[in-house]
Amino acid sequence: MAEKLLEIKNLKTSFRIKDDYFAAVDDVSLNVNKNEVLAIVGESGCGKSALAFSIMGLHTRAKMEGDILYKGENIVGISPSKLNKLRGKHMGMIFQDPLTALNPLMIIGDQIGEALLLHNKEMSKTQRKEKVIDLLNKVGIPRPEYVYEQFPHELSGGMRQRVVIATAIANEPELLIADEPTTALDVTIQSQILDLIKDLKDDMNSGIVLITHDLGVVAEMADRVAVMYAGEIVEIAEVTELFEEPLHPYTRSLFNSVPNASEEQDRLHVIQGIVPSLQNLPRTGCRFAPRIPWIDESAHEAHPELHEVKPGHFVRCTCYKHFRFPEEVGKEEEHHGVS
Amino acid sequence: MGFLKIEDLKVHFPIKGGLFGRTIDHVRAVDGVSFTLEKGKTYGLVGESGSGKSTTGRAIIGLNHVTSGKVYFEDKEITGVTKAKSDFRKDIQMIFQDPYSSLNPKKRVIDLVAEPLRNFEKLSRKEERIRVQELLELVGLNPESILKYPHEFSGGQRQRIGIARAVALKPKLIIADEPVSALDVSVQAQVLNFMKEIQDELDLTYMFISHDLGVIKHMCDHIGIMYKGRYVEEGTAKEIFDNPQHIYTKRLVAAIPDIDPRKREEMKQFRAEVNSEYEQSYNDYFNEEGLAYGLKPITDTHLVALPEKG
Amino acid sequence: MWKFSVRRILIMIPQLFVLSLLIFVLAKMMPGDALSGQIDPNIDPARIEELRIEMGWYDPWHEQYARWVGGVMQGDFGMSFRFKMPVTELIGQRIVNSFWLSVATLILTYLIAIPLGITSGRYNDTFRDQLITGYSYVGFATPLFIFALVMLWVFGFQLQWFPTSGSVEPGMEPGTFDYFMSKFYHLLLPALSMALITTFNTILYLRNEIIDTKQKDFILLARSKGASESRVYNQHIFRNSLLPIAAFFGFEITGLIGGSIFIENIFGYPGMGQLLIESISLRDFSVVTATTLLFGIASILGALISDIILSLVDPRIRIK
């Protein structure tokens, strides 16, 4: 049995808009095990980043309900000083845009060194510098002594992302949250950074939560995948299982809308309608129902729940059983007509 | 002769320096690029950031100063023509990356879409309104929404407004610079499908600039790969993706994440091989400055930047 | 850095040239000349004409300009016809007074603005913030000269906490501690009046900068490293937010010049601002040109100081 590192139970993170609170993460339960990459996939506004930020306690003005247990300790509502002992030491975070994730006025060495300084007061200055140079080496930065003294603007995007990663892994955290770590990077750099994250995981046996919208990245990296839509998890499964047999209509639509470099497609699938804004999220019934209006209402559950369809493969709502793409519906009818 | 023909295009930007801000050197953003677009087809220009792909696109329609080289459109030279009302300005339109910042937030949809019409055609208010409504219908937006402002639309809808603007004058060529990079996958699908549809409908030629190889493969008939301002390889989509010849292209294609999780180990090994080949043969494929050599034909359509000796 | 400063200083040369030319041309266009007031009207006009020729009144303008600039460079601004003394001597004491008034105002401005701006930005949308922004808006809406008059009336005349005019108690021995204290005492009320009313710019600017910086990714990174709130603010937010304030510094000096013209007149403080107004109303042209030129130079210097400060604290500029 895999060792549980992080256990999220019924997490609800709400933001205040005008006078009301709206849940961006709505009743999410998840586990992350040691030495595992859990990918969270979805489009902007689905709540995946809000979930990542919740785990790190980075929402300063959100209302959080439910539990996030890190090795059994609840970090929802924890005191700031306790949280700060966990952050950076036991959990690290990699951000999307390396161009804005570094303090423009601080040299690289001090930015990485800060993570060490905060959690290891005994370390001397020279020890710290040595360790930072070690880390720069580890993330594949050439001439680390020189880069140590440089400012962020003197480095390329790929190099800056390596610095952000070095900062996140400075204290060998057991949990690493990577929020779209390669979205802003070129594809060759992306593949280098993904390799780096994989190697680091193997090195440190950490659990990784990988937030991304890129199914290719998921296929390359994840052990398990959770698909989010409108603040909820709609499907969760082992990666090969999910890619072979995606069940939820949203997951299937997503797969069909990506242009795929290894397959010929004439037309891409388009999901009808638009992603609803936070205030306009449907809060009852199947949240994806308005975007598949050709599916009969009776296919949906009144209170959709996650059903375990195979060991470890969960799908929300029963509508997946009845789901067909409109093109398929047309073809089937044609077929029936002929016969 | 081709529909759009680029001959040895160079765009150099000066680097200012020293005490008096003299020009001390040049950035060779585009450094001798030649290619031809066929009418009705989609040509993809691929490269990583800083490769000069966007600069090339902008130079063609006169948004960047051309240092040397020639641009021919339908056999007429249009290099460095900056006059706003010249004919080719009507025939060549551009779509930009960010649908959030490329539309003036203070203008209504009708004014945004009618702007190119007002520059080139003298229409009465009523005619203009009808044209704009037709255009909105064409891009799949509600024609009733002409009085709305850009912020009232979603990202995909905004990009469609951008497209409506671009096709307003019935252009022959559209240069699309990363038109879907800022969009979510499902919205991206919408815009790409739509661009394909109107291509047939309006007999458009596209020049599609992107760093996303999945999108490029989906959209393009011919592809050019740029690196540091030069071409490293050019060919049909099949040639580039199935039979890349230049080591740079090989590495680029290998880096695309594979959608099949079971091929993970296989891909990892393949990438490792390509990377070591890249490092070993780097000096064979690039000159002392790290730049690509001139293009040599391998087949009729497939050109690769190989050194003189071969 | 070195190159940057040298280039920046070189840019000042054409700026100063244009400034001096402008002032010279304006002075030339004003009616009358140095003789029209200085000489007894009973003197034979022919003799005046002679004097004018002797003084070079009819020389080509560029020769006159060269002569004037040459004089200015050696510290000779001509004679004040009103005070019957060299302008340089007249300005000497006042420029020192104005300088100290400006320094005191600047210090007070930043002493008030920085803590208020920081509090307001850090705790935005709380009661404290509303109180501070409220004060800023009042400051924004109140004209300086009215506020200064109220201050003078309340603290100078009613409560008699501060002197109501002059820059020092008469009869003090220059150089003594008492003399210094008296000087300080005299400039406190005018400086405070000006500072209280001009801080709103800096407060609001700093507040917005902090609110902006707070949401930057590198702040999230700092938090995710485990930095405490106070560390996040001290190490990351403040430095980045104070940067534009440093850039604002030069602008601040220009603002001070405008403010000091009102303040010095209202508080009867013998400085450059007061001198300018007096000499304008008395048509003492050589003094007017001299003060205007000095104010102009101060503005140009302010911009220079801003740029140099910015290049010192912002590595992104330093490199280029």
Cβ–Cβ of A102/C243 closer than 8 Å?
Answer: no
**Are C221 and A93 a contacting pair, CB within 8 Å?**
yes
pLDDT value for A19: 85
Chains sharing 3 or more CB pairs under 8 A with chain C: A, B
Strand partners, C57: none
Q: What are phi and psi of A45, to 5 degrees?
A: 90, 0
Q: Using a CB-CB distance cutoff of 8 angstroms, which residues of chain B are in contact with residue C6? A: 19
pLDDT value for B102: 77
Write the pLDDT tens digit of every residue in B124-171: 888 889 889 888 887 778 888 888 888 888 777 888 888 888 888 888
pLDDT at A339 over 50: no
Q: Using a CB-CB distance cutoff of 8 angstroms, which residues of chain C are in contact with residue A53? A: 220
Of the candidates C217, C240, C313, the beta carbon closest to that of A97 is on C217
B190/B260 same-domain check: no
Cβ–Cβ of C226/A119 closer than 8 Å?
Answer: yes
- C90-318 falls under which CATH superfamily? MetI-like (1.10.3720.10)
Average pLDDT, rounded, for chain A: 89
Q: Which residue of A has its CA nearest to C235?
A: A106
Q: Is A245's Cβ below 8 Å from some Cβ in B?
A: no
Q: Is A143 strand, coil or helix?
A: coil
Q: Among residues B233, B248, B225, which one has the least CA distance to residue B302?
A: B233
One DSSP character per residue, chain C reads -HHHHHHHHHHHHHHHHHHHHHHHHHHHHSS--HHHHHS-TTS-HHHHHHHHHHHTTTS-HHHHHHHHHHHHHTT---EETTTTEEHHHHHHHHHHHHHHHHHHHHHHHHHHHHHHHHHHHHTTTSHHHHHHHHHHHHHHHS-HHHHHHHHIIIIIIIS--S-SS-SS-TT--TTSHHHHHHHHHHHHHHHHHHHHHHHHHHHHHHHHHHHHHHTSHHHHHHHHTT--HHHIIIIIIHHHHHHHHHHHHHHHHHHHHHHHHHHHHHTT--SHHHHHHHHHHTT-HHHHHHHHHHHHHHHHHHHHHHHHHHHHH-HHHHT-
Chunked into runs of 10 residues, chain C (320 residues) has average pLDDT values of 77 87 80 59 72 70 82 78 79 84 88 91 89 88 84 82 75 76 82 85 89 90 92 90 80 80 84 84 80 87 82 69
B198/B284 same-domain check: no
pLDDT at A228 over 90: yes
The last residue of a domain, from among B209, B228, B247 = B228
Cβ–Cβ of A153/C316 closer than 8 Å?
Answer: yes
B164/B291 same-domain check: no
Who wins on pLDDT, A142 or C246?
A: A142
Cβ–Cβ of B257/A216 closer than 8 Å?
Answer: yes
| Smallest Cα distance from B10 to chain C, Å | 26
Q: Tell me the mean pLDDT in the region A261-269.
A: 72
The whole-angstrom separation of Cα A91 and Cα A2 is: 19
- Determine the Cα angle at A303 with ends A300 and A309, to 5°: 65
Write the pLDDT tens digit of every residue in B211-259: 888 899 999 999 999 999 999 999 999 999 999 999 999 999 999 998 8
Q: How many distinct structural domains can be found in chain B?
A: 2
Tell me what percent of chain A is helix, strand and coil, each rounded to the nearest 5: 40, 25, 40
Put simply, the chain A residues between 115 and 134 with a CB less than 8 A from any chain B CB are: none
Q: Is C220's Cβ below 8 Å from some Cβ in A?
A: yes
Chains sharing 3 or more CB pairs under 8 A with chain A: B, C
**Running DSSP on this structure, what letter comes out for residue B112?**
H
Specify the CATH number for the domain of residue B52. 3.40.50.300
Q: Among residues C264, C295, C280, which one has the least CA distance to residue C191?
A: C264
Domain ranges of chain C: 31-76, 90-318
Least confident of A264-268, A298-302, C66-70: A264-268
B42/B163 same-domain check: yes
The pLDDT-based confidence of A263 (bands split at 50, 70, 90) is low
Q: Which residue of C has its CA nearest to B22?
A: C7
pLDDT value for A338: 45
What is the share, in percent, of chain B residues with pLDDT greater than 70?
Answer: 95
The whole-angstrom separation of Cα B28 and Cα B12 is: 5
State the complex-level ipTM. Answer: 0.87
Cβ–Cβ of A262/B258 closer than 8 Å?
Answer: yes
Chains sharing 3 or more CB pairs under 8 A with chain B: A, C
Who wins on pLDDT, A159 or C258?
A: A159
Who wins on pLDDT, C159 or B56?
A: B56
Q: Using a CB-CB distance cutoff of 8 angstroms, which residues of chain B are in contact with residue A269? A: 189
B211/B291 same-domain check: no
Write the pLDDT tens digit of every residue in A32-91: 999 999 999 998 888 999 999 999 999 888 899 999 999 999 999 899 999 999 999 999
Write the pLDDT tens digit of every residue in A172-217: 899 999 999 988 788 888 898 899 899 888 888 899 999 999 999 9
Q: Which domain holds residue B217?
A: 4-228
Q: Using a CB-CB distance cutoff of 8 angstroms, which residues of chain C are in contact with residue B16? A: none
Q: Using a CB-CB distance cutoff of 8 angstroms, which residues of chain B are in contact with residue C7? A: 19-21
B268/B251 same-domain check: yes
Which amino acid is it at B14? P
B194/B286 same-domain check: no
Least confident of A17-26, B113-122, B221-230: B113-122
B168/B251 same-domain check: no
B46/B182 same-domain check: yes
The last residue of a domain, from among B203, B228, B253 = B228
Q: Tell me the mean pLDDT in the region A225-249.
A: 95
- With residue B22 as reference, give the H or E element that holds it: strand B22-37
What are the helix and strand counts (H, E) for chain A?
Answer: 11, 12
pLDDT value for C223: 93
Q: Is B98's Cβ below 8 Å from some Cβ in A?
A: no
- With residue A86 as reference, give the H or E element that holds it: helix A80-86
Cβ–Cβ of A243/B49 closer than 8 Å?
Answer: no
Q: Is B142's Cβ below 8 Å from some Cβ in A?
A: no
The last residue of a domain, from among B228, B258, B283 = B228
B176/B282 same-domain check: no
B240/B124 same-domain check: no
Q: Is C211's Cβ below 8 Å from some Cβ in A?
A: no
